[in-house]
Each structure stands twice: as C-alpha cells, then as structure tokens.
C-alpha cells in the first residue's frame, strides 16, 4: 500500500488509486491511512464522521463505507495483477484479497501498509536523521536531511479531506512536526552562514505565522547579520505588539535578550555568533497563531 498524506490524500495499491471521491469514505480512508498497521476503533471512526451525536444508522453506514473501500482495493488488485488474472473481495488460494489489506478486527478496522511507501514515514525518518545531525554539530548534514524531509510536503496535510475531530487533531500534530523540522532546518542554515539566502523565506514565514517567536528570532538574526539592524529591531517591535494585543503576553526572555543584543551592537555592530538564531527555550511551535 502506497500512502500519501502530506498534501492531498493519495492511497494506492500496485500503482492503482483506491482513494474514493465521496467525502465520508475519504475521511474513513484518511484516518485508516494515518494509522496504517494500527487498529482504528469503530468508536473513533464514528466520532470522526458524525461527531458526538451519530445517527442510529451510523454503524451500518460505516460498514457500507468499509465495503466501498474494499471494492476499490479489489479493483486495484485486479488491475495490478500481471496478466490480468482476477482477484477480488475473496481472492483465491494464495492470492492477496481486499480483506487482507483492509482487515476487520475486534473493535475496529486495520489498513495494512505492507511494504509500500509512506510519505509520513519517510518524513519522520529523514527529520529524525536531521535532528541527530544537529545534535552532533553536523549542520550541513542536518540542513540536507531536513530539506529532504520538508520537500515531501506538497501542501497542508490531507488538504482535500473534510476533517472531523480526530483528523483535525492529527492535522495539527502533523503541522507542528513540519514546523519543528522547518525551524531546525533554518537554524542549521543560519549556523552555516546562509543568512542572506534565508531572508526571502523568513519574510514569508513571519507573515504567515505572525506570533511565532522562534521564526521571528531567526528573522531578526538573519536581518542583523545582513546589515539590516533597524529592520531586525522593527520585527521585534511588531511581534511584541501582536503578542500583547492578541494574547496579552510579552515576548519570551530569550527573544528579548536577542533584541537587546542587537540594540547594543550598534549600527555597525558585529553580527551575533552562530547558534543564537533560535531563542533558547522557545519551542518550534512558539506562540503560534497563523495569519488570517
């Protein structure tokens, strides 16, 4: 099973898509794909589809959606079988069938990923390699691995799937993972002296996440190292105004320290040393409130 989540939902078997077009079956498949090789309970699926007040017909309707997904899987298995040999819902001796891919288990259902690809699994593997490289001081390696991880994203996770309560939570978790990887990739690039190359990207990011302290700190440092001290200080003032206005909070002590360091350096001051780009103790999530 090949699973794509980091963008539009794309699930395929043997090169043939099994992704349905109807909204609710797509929700079911998305939740199963997110938790491939794990049991997703009937209760979780029901709550995802209908919230806290499901209709009386919820269970048989869910069973219908599972049957529809199995029909898609069976069709993919038939098309993917070399020579056109048929295999469907039941399959023959030694043949893999739809029920071998989407299993009914006690309490719920399980989608088997098998040996197929998963962009989420690849992202987590590459990001992990990048984090370990950062910890080892291999900033070039970290930047490369984290860039590879981020390139797997083609847009917001599950961008074309209606999200109920469970998918919405998972999407937020995935976005947090992406932001953590992005934060560390920018940190690695700053440590490699790539501050000028980062300015365009950071300008977009601080506009998209206007109260994200870590990104603002990185933006301030990139500006300062590029000889744009006034703009770096202005970025801090704008962030502070947003935090106070929207959350009633002052910037973190680490970010305020960075601001004072830039202020005291003077117009021709020496750029801050490598490693001060992300204020200490500020998580990649920061105080996050996307614009708009």
Q: What is the pLDDT of residues 19-29, one digit of tens each?
A: 999 999 999 99
**Arithmetic mean of pLDDT over the chain:** 89
Give dist(CA 282, CA 234) in Å, integer.
20
- Residue 168 φ/ψ, nearest 5 degrees: -60, -40
pLDDT tens profile 120-155: 999 999 999 999 999 999 999 999 999 999 999 999
Write out pLDDT tens, residues 182-226. Answer: 999 999 999 999 999 999 999 999 999 999 999 999 999 999 999
pTM of the model: 0.85
Q: Dump pLDDT digits (tens) for 37-65.
A: 999 999 999 999 999 999 999 999 999 99
The CATH number of domain 2-111 is 3.10.20.520: no
Asked if the model's pLDDT at residue 118 lies above 70, the reply is: yes
**Alpha carbons 143 and 184: distance in angstroms, whole number:** 8
Percent of the chain residues topping a pLDDT of 70: 85
In this predicted model, which residue has the larger pLDDT, 111 or 83? 111
Q: How far apart are CA 31 and CA 39, in angstroms?
A: 10
**Rounded to whole angstroms, how far apart are CA atoms 44 and 223?**
47
Distance from C-alpha of 165 to C-alpha of 169, rounded to nearest angstrom: 6
Residues 6+ apart with CB under 8 A from 255: 213, 216, 217, 236, 239, 279, 282
pLDDT at 92: 47
pLDDT of residue 96: 75
The residue ranking higher by pLDDT, 234 or 289, is: 234
pLDDT of residue 248: 95
**d(C-alpha 255, C-alpha 258), whole Å:** 5
Strand order in the sheet with 10-13: 2-4, 10-13, 16-17
- Residue 85 vs residue 227, higher pLDDT: 227
CATH code for the structural domain at 195-292: 1.25.40.10
Q: What's residue 14's pLDDT?
A: 83
- What pLDDT is recorded for position 273? 42
How confident is residue 98, by pLDDT bands cut at 50, 70 and 90?
Answer: very high
Using alpha carbons, select from 19, 21, 27, 22 the residue that is nearest to residue 49.
27
The predicted structure's pLDDT at residue 43: 97
Domain limits of the chain? 2-111, 195-292
Helices (H), 152-248: 165-191, 195-208, 213-225, 229-247
132 Cβ contact partners less than 8 Å away, ≥ 6 residues apart: none
* Nearest CA among 131, 272, 291 for reference residue 209: 291
Q: Is the model's pLDDT at 274 over the cut of 60?
A: no
């Amino acid at each position: 099973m090949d699973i794509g989540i980091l963008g539009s939902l794309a699930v395929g078997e043997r090169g043939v898509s099994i992704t349905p077009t109807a909204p609710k079956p797509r929700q079911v498949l998305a939740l199963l794909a997110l938790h491939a090789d794990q049991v997703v309970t009937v209760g979780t699926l029901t709550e995802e589809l209908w919230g806290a007040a499901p209709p009386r017909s919820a269970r048989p309707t869910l069973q219908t959606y599972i049957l529809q997904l199995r029909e898609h899987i069976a069709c993919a298995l038939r098309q993917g079988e070399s020579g056109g040999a048929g295999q469907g819902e039941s399959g023959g001796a030694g043949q893999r069938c739809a029920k071998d891919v989407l299993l009914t288990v006690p309490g719920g259902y399980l989608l088997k990923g098998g040996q197929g690809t998963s962009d989420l699994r690849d992202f987590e593997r590459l990001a992990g390699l990048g984090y370990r490289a950062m910890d080892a001081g291999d900033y070039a390696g970290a930047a490369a691995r984290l860039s590879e991880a981020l390139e797997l994203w083609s847009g917001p996770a599950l961008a074309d799937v209606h999200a109920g309560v469970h998918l919405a939570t998972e999407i937020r978790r995935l976005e947090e993972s992406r932001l953590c990887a992005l934060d560390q990739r920018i940190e690695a690039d700053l440590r490699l002296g790539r501050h000028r190359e980062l300015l365009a990207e950071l300008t977009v990011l601080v506009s998209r996440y206007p109260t994200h302290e870590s990104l603002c700190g990185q933006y301030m440092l990139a500006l300062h190292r590029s000889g744009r001290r006034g703009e770096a200080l202005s970025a801090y003032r704008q962030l502070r105004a947003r935090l106070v206005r929207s959350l009633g909070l002052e910037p973190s002590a680490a970010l305020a320290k960075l601001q004072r360091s830039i202020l005291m350096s003077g117009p021709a001051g020496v750029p801050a040393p490598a490693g001060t780009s992300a204020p200490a103790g500020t998580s990649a999530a920061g105080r996050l409130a996307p614009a708009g």
